[in-house]
Chains A and B, each alone.
Chain A
Amino acid sequence: DAGVIQSPRHEVTEMGQEVTLRCKPISGHNSLFWYRQTMMRGLELLIYFNNNVPIDDSGMPEDRFSAKMPNASFSTLKIQPSEPRDSAVYFCASSFFDFSGIGETQYFGPGTRLLVL
């Protein structure tokens, strides 16, 4: 299995530009998470999808951030317009959730390192 795939791995852009991050979850997984990690704030959950439906987006910082999951094998996180404070590592993670009540393992992608100048 290829694991969770994210692209691009690095992104440098100028303030005001649109940034699109992409994620391909592990095949068969039905839950997908977008996280942001910084030294100051640690790992923050931005949004969580289950069966392609956004379940909790309370972590999305503001309207500049949007996420979509058009199908089970693809998700995007878009920042428009980007700002320097958006600089961080953005991780996508996927897992298989069932109703057994047993916590499932999250598998993380390698992350996208975003620098907004």
Chain B
Amino acid sequence: GAVVSQHPSRVICKSGTSVKIECRSLDFQATTMFWYRQFPKQSLMLMATSNEGSKATYEQGVEKDKFLINHASLTLSTLTVTSAHPEDSSFYICSAGGTSSYNEQFFGPGTRLTVL
């Protein structure tokens, strides 16, 4: 199957700082990437859909000014958590699914964010 990487795998930061997470599709071009957040013992929560060359589509309740998404190329999407707070501590996972969301999604390994 296709490979999606994420970097960093784990990050600890101070409250108020910004953190950037990269998601790369290594062996295919992804016009659409998805960003999820998962709190302990809960299911995946879709945060936003990232479309190459256009603005991301955010789910209800997700602050677009706090979670900045950039999908500048067909192989890279970035999520920046701005002015992070302890409640932003979570497991952030990206996935890429080719041209339409109903195709199989290939998940990155996830990024564990801890905000002190």
Q: Do A and B interact?
A: no
Binding site for A on B (CB under 8 A): none
